[in-house]
Structure 1
Amino acid sequence: MEKGFLDRVEDNTAVRTWSETTQREKYDSLAEGYVSELWDFTRISIGQNGLQELKEIWEQWNDEVRQLFYSNYGDLPYLLDIKVDKHLFHTLAQFWNPTYSCFTFGKVDLVPTIQKYMALLHCSKIQVNKAYLRAVNVPIFLKKLMNITGMSEQWFAARIKQKGDSKCIHWKNLKDLILAHPDMKKNVDVFALSIYGLVFFPKALGHVDEAVTDLFDRLDKRVTPVTVIFAETLGH
């Protein structure tokens, strides 16, 4: 039975094409008698970074350091305690409509919204009218990391690795910085960068991807990261 199911698994492009074709033929996912067949064509693979070390660092910090974090980055640490229910994701797959980008339960559509993501991420302190947009001329990954951490070019040059089509730095290197850096503000910055890299955009498990540093570097300009996080979620 399992082999028969896996034989029908398609990639995301094929799933979207199938969904759009079905949409044209049946006109609407809520048409009488419509039954989603998405579950037969896709497979969910859930990979997560281990967050225990991040949680331990947070628990060791005193109230003064935590308040410094809150004032700069909001309530993000609470995300470290959220449990991802893998069984729930498998169940929800059969209700996802990739054409409409919403969940359809019977005759009710549930659509993710920017407002819901803002509430989830506790981003109310960040100006919502300044959405993050990737700059045309983005400084190289190494330079971004130097600006964020204050470490030298030589230090990062020895630690940046190529993972697939992008450059990354291992979480262990960032952890060492958090534990040893004499500047507490830099420690807080690197901790926040790690949350963005390991929780929001876990492209390569155990690593922080170069695309994350550009978004993170722009946060001090009070842009909201919600739109790009929202788009990343729908894209996957």
Structure 2
Amino acid sequence: MGSNGGSNITPLRKTLPLRVLKPDVNNIKNLARKLKKVQRVIFMGKFGKILDLLEVNVQVDALIALAQFYDPPFRCFTFKDFQLAPMLEEFERIMEYPMKGSKPYQYMEHYPSLKTIAETFDIPIMEIEDNRTNKDNLIGFPIKYLEEKAVNLARDGKWDTFMDVLALIIYGIVLFPTIKDFVDFMVIDVFLAYKHRGENSVPRVLADIYCTLDFRHEKEGGLIHCCSPILFF
């Protein structure tokens, strides 16, 4: 995080009742272990260092303490003698998604088509229709379904598609968590924009962190759901 001096700045004192949506990555790590060494190198070439986020031991209490010092007007964490701000360059490095030569993710004002999802993840459209779920007014897939899909792909030796499904699971559960154990279609759109159009996901991750911190301070508490491993990194 970038820092600036500020010895005259008074630290935030009001304690907010905050919680953190910490991703359960045990099953995802088990899926990742199915990749052999060469396949892990290929995965990194496609999707950067997102597998490394599975190894971050997120300390929830530390994140809650940090969030208390978030200063919405300045979009940074304000302490007595200095300020810290999440920066795009740091997120690029952590994810290994360089912004140079790429454009940021842009929402096209509609969800990806079932045809695109079917072709990308080797799922028949009828199966998509049977397994997509409405949860808290969001359309998506239960994580259990995607995990079972990944297991079957590994069993059948369809490693390219397995990598896509594994990366999507990490996007939904780690990078862009919205609801516990659920991957919504907005996250699928971010993933497909990266895979098919080369649109960089880093600005969206950073924006999600700022937006959730702003919102929780506006509401004076609640659940922080953003990429906690990157925030904790």
**Structure-2-length-normalised TM-score:** 0.80
**Alpha-carbon distance in 2 for matches of 1:219, 1:78:** 19
Contact 1:127–1:223, Cα closer than 8 Å, also in 2: no
For the aligned residues, what is the CA RMSD? 2.0
1:119-198 alignment to 2 at 5 Å? 119-124=93-98, 127=100, 129-140=102-113, 142-181=114-153, 182=156, 183-198=158-173
Q: Which runs of 4+ in 1 moved over 4 A?
A: 30-33
Q: Deviations over 1:162-189 (max 9, x none)?
A: 0112112011111111111232110000
Give the equivalent residue in structure 2 for 1:53: 27
Unaligned ranges ≥5, structure 2: 1-5, 213-233
**Alpha-carbon distance in 2 for matches of 1:199, 1:81:** 11
> Is 1:77 aligned with 2:51?
yes
Contact 2:141–2:182, Cα closer than 8 Å, also in 1: yes
Give the equivalent residue in structure 2 for 1:228: 204
Change (3 A) 1:93 1:121: same
- Which structure has the higher relative contact order (CA within 8 Å, separation 6+)? 2
1:56-135 alignment to 2 at 5 Å? 56-124=30-98, 127=100, 129-135=102-108
Contact 1:130–1:223, Cα closer than 8 Å, also in 2: yes
What amino acid is aligned across from residue 169 of structure 1 in structure 2?
Answer: F
Aligned residues: 203
Unaligned ranges ≥5, structure 1: 1-29
Partner SS state of residue 188, structure 2: helix
Give the equivalent residue in structure 2 for 1:200: 175
Q: Deviations over 1:66-90 (max 9, x none)?
A: 1221121112101101011111122
Contact 2:134–2:140, Cα closer than 8 Å, also in 1: yes
Q: Which has a greater percent of strand? A: 2
Question: 1:32 deviation in Å?
Answer: 4.8
Change (3 A) 1:127 1:222: farther
What amino acid is aligned across from residue 159 of structure 2 in structure 1?
Answer: M
Percent identity over the alignment is 21
Partner SS state of residue 60, structure 1: coil
Change (3 A) 1:86 1:185: same
What amino acid is aligned across from residue 132 of structure 1 in structure 2?
Answer: Y
**Alpha-carbon distance in 2 for matches of 1:72, 1:51:** 20
Contact 1:128–1:223, Cα closer than 8 Å, also in 2: no
Partner SS state of residue 42, structure 2: helix
Contact 1:128–1:224, Cα closer than 8 Å, also in 2: no
Q: Which has the larger radius of gyration?
A: 1
What amino acid is aligned across from residue 150 of structure 1 in structure 2?
Answer: D
What amino acid is aligned across from residue 51 of structure 2 in structure 1?
Answer: P
Give the equivalent residue in structure 2 for 1:24: none
Q: Deviations over 1:87-110 (max 9, x none)?
A: 112221332101111011113111
